[in-house]
Amino acid sequence: MSVLVGKKAPFFEAVAVVNGGDFVEKFSLDQYIGKKHVIFFFYPLDFTFVCPTELIAFQDKIAEFEKRNVAVVGCSTDSKYSHWTWLRTERKNGGIKGVTYPIVSDLSKTIATNYDVLAGEYIYNEDGTIEFDGIAQAFRGLFLIDKQGIVRHQVVNDMPLGRSIDEALRMVDALQFYEENGEVCPADWHKGDKAMKETAEGVAEYLSHH
């Protein structure tokens, strides 16, 4: 598994479904550089079981991300038509109707490959033919990208393990606090908690109160 933290987020242009049903043919995260932080997350497959709980949970907290000037973008290896249909399907029928943030179609699996979250790979057989080894779906990868397009946080879950959207928000708060104040955020830090200066004295002062 590649560690992308500290590196430029891999570039892509791909079709995405935005605003719950509109196609954007050349969607790119570069549109947010200099403007917004980005939570870019992968999920395995439309019309499954854990996945809709995550996508709806992100939507339920979308106002909190927007308040922090953070763009939320999802991605899976499904087609744009699968995304569109899922977004138009009522939740009681297994859909995610009401989700408004962009969902990228990575049908070629190149985006998941570049972010190193694909649960399989193409291999050459002895006869020179190509086949796919593994599962042609993405793990539950999540990447926090700053305004310069640099990955500052990543976490990857196996497919049965749903993510914590509150933890994603906490990491956004920690990064933005550090960017604005220059102080580092200790273990289990939450917005409003005391941080500490990145010095021996700062650590000693913080620990003396805990």
> What tokens appear for 173 in the block?
């708060």
Instruction: Give catalytic status of residue 75 as yes or no.
Output: no
- Residue 45: name the closest of 97, 110, 115, 96 by CA: 96
Cα diameter, the chain: 66
Taking the CA atoms of the chain, what radius of gyration do you get in angstroms? 19
Tokens 């991605």, residue?
75
138: exposed, middle or buried (C-beta count within 10 Å: 0-12, 13-18, 19+)?
buried
> Annotated catalytic residue: which of 17, 29, 45, 51?
51
| Residues designated as active site | 51
